[in-house]
């Protein structure tokens, strides 16, 4: 019997809230000290990262230190492996050269599958629609430890803000999504927190015609909660709980309501699902076609990021899904980070300087290295907050983070450099004991494909043609496992 079949749900009219694992509800044969399920989450950072991301020394434990730009992750150093100098040019160019243009419009599309999307489209012939190869997360969705074990097969989330185009004629799927279920299906991320929340609790958000569901709209208008729909079922379930689990359940339900209220408020401010088609509030910042370009009276980037963290924690804690892709931004973001102070960075720390950051792409990546690094540092802080929350939730003798593989990184070099070499990557979490941690490895030059292959084979135990043929074939560069990261 799989774990999904043993899960407890709080059910009501159109709602199914998954309850976190609790000893009182576990089958007698289940061990309270058993480990939780293995999870995978790539976190995408656009446009590269400052060279200050790379630690000054390699090695294990005390031999290396996290650099200043990564200092928000310091409490988790023992659960991190920093990996320097991957390259993905081999996915585009037969000679492995690192120049790929248009860079913003092509490199993200190869980040999780190591093949140029243009190659896939060319094979289909002139006029082919958005096409790409299946990404690693969707290949993992087919393994026994994942498929059929959770209510949601995989979840795609992130933040999305305004930019002028999808980069010189490339399809938007090459820069606004990193997940592909097959060659013809880009898995675009959900950026509306209420939309994600409703997925997690099984709410039907729209009618078959694509309009907001009237029942959902009525509940929002009356300030009702999905917990009202499951109140009777919740009371019966709580009667079955021991004292400790009863307190955990009360805390969980309180948190669900808080997340629901925050998601609804954020959705209203974004003009998202919580708004009716008629009464959509006006955005008070620059009126642009694809979303916010700066913080305003109705939109706050930090609140948006925190809200997505809340939803990711809820998804993993409740075992609603074991696969999440998270994009911190679309590629080539032109969002203005005026809320972030400029910092100065050293090899091991950072300090607040003068001024605030500007727009991420031109003012940051092609403007000031301090501004660029400060924006990265802010995003690392949001990732660190998410990681520490996952590490605080215990599953038997381990934490959710211990049972996860978090791959955090970027598709291009970084400051004023569009090349797809010198890629900054890291692994966070123990992969259920299958990964080594607390180390910095400098590969000088190693194809990114090898990292994906190692995770699929060495951690998730995957075999077969989809893994053997992963990425584009290069006779001079066969697959090679990265044994240094495996326990």
* pLDDT recorded at residue 242: 79
Q: Residue 202 has which token pair? A: 């099984």
Determine the Cα–Cα distance for residues 44 and 276; give it in Å rounded to an integer: 32
pLDDT, tens digit (0-9, with 9 covering 90-100), for 356-378:
999 998 889 999 999 999 999 99
Determine the Cα–Cα distance for residues 426 and 66; give it in Å rounded to an integer: 11
Nearest to 391 by CA among 137, 145, 7, 79: 79
Handedness of CA 16, 18, 24, 25 (dihedral sign): positive
Do 47 and 365 form a contact (C-beta atoms < 8 A)? yes
- Tokens 């910095």 appear where? 440
Determine the Cα–Cα distance for residues 326 and 157; give it in Å rounded to an integer: 5
Low-confidence ranges of the chain (pLDDT < 70): 1-7, 12-14, 21, 23-35, 125-128, 161-169, 203-224, 271-291
Nearest to 427 by CA among 458, 398, 396: 458
Pairing of strands 439-447, 80-87: parallel
**What are residue 407's DSSP bridge partners?**
42, 427
Do 353 and 344 form a contact (C-beta atoms < 8 A)? yes
C-beta contacts of 180-185 below 8 A and 24+ residues apart: 180/112, 180/113, 180/132, 180/133, 180/134, 180/135, 180/138, 181/134, 181/138, 181/141, 182/134, 182/138, 183/120, 183/124, 183/131, 183/132, 183/133, 183/134, 184/129, 184/130, 184/131
Q: Identify the structural domains of the chain with CATH numbers, from first to last.
A: 34-192+296-485 (3.40.720.10)
* pLDDT recorded at residue 97: 92
Determine the Cα–Cα distance for residues 156 and 478; give it in Å rounded to an integer: 31
Handedness of CA 431, 451, 310, 260 (dihedral sign): negative
- For residue 477, how many other CB atoms are within 10 A of its CB? 15
Nearest to 378 by CA among 304, 430, 448, 313: 304
* pLDDT recorded at residue 323: 97
Nearest to 437 by CA among 377, 475, 383, 484: 484
Determine the Cα–Cα distance for residues 230 and 14; give it in Å rounded to an integer: 10
């Amino acid at each position: 019997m799989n774990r999904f079949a043993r899960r407890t749900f709080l059910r009501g009219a159109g709602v199914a809230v998954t309850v976190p694992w609790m000893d009182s509800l576990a089958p007698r044969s289940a061990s309270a000290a058993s480990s939780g399920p293995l999870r995978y989450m790539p976190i995408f950072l656009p446009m590269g990262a400052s060279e200050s991301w790379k630690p000054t020394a390699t090695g294990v434990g005390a031999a290396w230190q996290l650099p200043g730009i990564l200092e928000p992750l310091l409490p988790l150093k023992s659960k991190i492996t920093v990996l320097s100098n991957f390259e993905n040019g081999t996915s585009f160019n037969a000679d492995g050269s690192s120049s790929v243009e248009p860079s913003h419009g092509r490199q993200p599309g190869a980040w999780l599958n190591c093949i140029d999307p243009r190659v896939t489209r060319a094979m289909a012939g002139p006029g082919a629609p958005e096409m790409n190869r299946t990404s690693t997360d969707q290949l993992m969705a087919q393994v026994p430890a994942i498929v059929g074990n959770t209510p949601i097969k995989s979840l795609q989330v992130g933040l999305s803000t305004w930019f002028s185009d999808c980069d010189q004629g490339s399809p938007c799927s090459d820069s606004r999504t990193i997940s592909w279920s097959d060659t013809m299906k880009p898995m675009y991320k959900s950026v509306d927190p209420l939309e994600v929340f409703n997925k997690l609790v099984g709410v039907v958000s729209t009618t078959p015609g694509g309009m907001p569901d009237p029942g959902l709209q009525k509940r929002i208008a009356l300030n009702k909660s999905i917990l009202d729909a499951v109140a009777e079922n919740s009371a019966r379930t709580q009667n079955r709980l021991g004292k400790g689990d009863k307190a955990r359940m009360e805390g969980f339900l309180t948190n669900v309501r808080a997340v629901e209220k925050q998601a609804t408020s954020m959705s209203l401010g974004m003009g998202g699902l919580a708004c009716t088609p008629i009464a959509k509030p006006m955005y008070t910042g620059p009126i642009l076609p694809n979303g916010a370009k700066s913080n305003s009276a109705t939109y706050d980037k930090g609140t948006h990021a925190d809200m997505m963290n809340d939803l990711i924690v809820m998804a993993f804690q409740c075992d609603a899904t074991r696969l999440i892709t998270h994009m911190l931004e679309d590629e080539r973001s032109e969002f203005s980070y005026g809320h972030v102070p400029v910092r100065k960075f050293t090899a091991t720390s950072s300090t607040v300087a003068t001024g605030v950051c500007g727009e991420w792409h031109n003012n940051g990546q092609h403007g000031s290295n301090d501004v660029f690094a400060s924006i990265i540092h802010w995003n690392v802080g949001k990732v660190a907050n998410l990681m520490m929350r996952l590490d605080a939730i215990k599953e038997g003798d381990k934490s959710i983070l211990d049972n996860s593989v978090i791959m955090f990184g970027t598709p291009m070099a970084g400051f004023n450099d569009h090349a797809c070499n010198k890629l900054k990557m890291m692994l966070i979490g123990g992969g259920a004991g299958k990964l080594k941690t607390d180390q910095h490895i400098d590969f000088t030059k190693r194809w990114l494909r090898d990292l994906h292959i190692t995770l699929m084979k060495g951690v998730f135990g995957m075999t077969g043609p989809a893994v053997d043929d992963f990425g584009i074939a290069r006779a001079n560069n066969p697959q090679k496992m990265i044994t240094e990261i495996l326990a």
